[in-house]
Structure formats: structure tokens, C-alpha cells
Structure 1
């Protein structure tokens, strides 16, 4: 994920949920929309290598940001590597989400390499917010 010229981050957490539930939260559109700040009905996922995804994220001030990309690697219940389309850039930004079993709990790691320190800091802040929201979603249970 890094050509050696980028600025990377990695975030790791242990979640109180089994691997399958965490995987489902990341790969089921209605679950993803509920914890990833996405507008209801805006999430589409074709979870397979080369499959596309899209979502419209709603920021705290109500701004709607459309996001698109593709799945680069998919290893069910273990690894999801996403390509994220970036306006004005030929190659997608890449983020990896890796899962590991820790008894009944799940270790999750999110990794990304960015072009600048500013991009890395913004991406790391966004990923931290996602992990916080995912933690809340899993503690409440997916059915609502």
C-alpha cells in the first residue's frame, strides 16, 4: 500500500463482536449506512475484487459528499482493501481493513497511505470517527 513516498497511519481496536458481525457491518449496505454517516439508501456494494461501491456521506453540518470506489482485495471475514476515487487523481486512494479473531471479540486494523501529511491527518481523523461509530453500532446490535 505504500510506495515509500507516502504518509501512513494504522489504527487498531478490539471490538466486542465476533468477526462475522464486523464483516457484515462493513459489507452490508443497510448496516454500513447506519454507522458510517451515509445517507439512507445511498450505499451500493458489489463486494468482490473489481466490484464497485458508492455512498453519500453526510457531514455533521449536513453537507452531502458522494464517494465512489472499488474493492481491490476481498478475503471474507479477514481483509477488505478499498480503492477510493479521488477527483483529479489517476489512481485511487487505497485503504485496508483487516480483521482477526480474539476469542469472541475482533481485532480490527485500518491502514492507509496518503500523499501528504494533511491528507493523512484528515484520513486518520475520519477513520477514527468511523471506528468510534462502528463500536457504538456493534454494541447496540445491528437490528433496529
Structure 2
């Protein structure tokens, strides 16, 4: 075994992000599940987002980085409970199983929504990158919903 390899603990390396958004759960749901809306806040190339939001349905999007790089992403929906919960599978190069991320929406008072994003990764490096990316997404979603 190489000294740089890591052994993944049985529960992996998880992160959880929680926010309260100033929008009803149905509005937040639409932002995550309507391609044109998703593309506006999720750093996607125009016209690159396709979504078949149902269990077993597929999705794809091309993310554009601040320096103009483009990264095509694909995956599927593992669990769909409208206005409440999405479990998204994300295909990762070189991995036999998709990475999964869950998005939970809970209605709050005054038309607000609590969102919880959770993912478990195989290494601390993957977790740190995924958490950074999810934090950027939630920041952008917050700005999008405020507009």
C-alpha cells in the first residue's frame, strides 16, 4: 500500500450544509428541478442542462468554471419526493458507483425553507472539494432566490 493511499472508514467522510432560504419550498424545488432555472444559478453553460426528475431519471449539465473551463456532469435521480427530498447520483470518472448527494427541504414560518445538503465522500480531499462546491451552489441559490 502506498503511503498516500487512504483507507475509507465504514461511514466515509461526510459533510452537511444547512441554510434557511427566503423562499417557499415549492420555489426552491423548482430552482433545483427546472433546467432553465437550475442553469441560472448553478454555474451551467446555457442550454446544457437536461433533467428527467423521477426515480431512475437522468440529468446532465455542463458546469463553467470562473476561468472558462467546462466540465460535463451526468447522473441520475435516486429518490424524488416533490418539494421535500432529492437524492442525486453523480457519475464520477473512474468510480464504479455514482457519488450521491441528498437535498432536503423543510418549510419554515413566513414562507421560508430550511435546506440541508448532505454527501459522503471516499476521501477527505473529495469531501473538502465537494463541500466547497456545495457551499458555492448554496451561495448562488440564495442570491438567485433573492432576485
Name the TM-score, length of structure 1 as normaliser.
0.94
Query: How far 1:115 sits from its partner (Å)?
Result: 0.2
1:111 has 2:111 as partner? no
Aligned residue for 2:94? 88
1:12 has 2:22 as partner? no
Choose the corresponding residue for 1:43, options 49, 63, 70. 49
Choose the corresponding residue for 1:125, options 116, 127, 132. 132
- Give the paired residue count: 138
Name the TM-score, length of structure 2 as normaliser.
0.93
Aligned residue for 1:24? 30
> What secondary structure, in the 3-state scheme, does the structure 2 residue paired with 1:107 have?
strand
1:79 has 2:78 as partner? no
Query: How far 1:133 sits from its partner (Å)?
Result: 0.1
Please provide the CA RMSD for this pair: 0.8
> What secondary structure, in the 3-state scheme, does the structure 1 residue paired with 2:43 have?
coil
Moved over 2 A (4+): none
Query: How far 1:4 sits from its partner (Å)?
Result: 2.9
Which of the pair has more CA radius of gyration?
2
Structure 1's unaligned 5+ residue stretches are: none
Deviations 1:83-108 (A, max 9, x none): 00001110000000000000210000
Structure 2's unaligned 5+ residue stretches are: 1-8
1:99 has 2:105 as partner? yes
> What secondary structure, in the 3-state scheme, does the structure 2 residue paired with 1:42 have?
coil
Query: How far 1:5 sits from its partner (Å)?
Result: 3.6
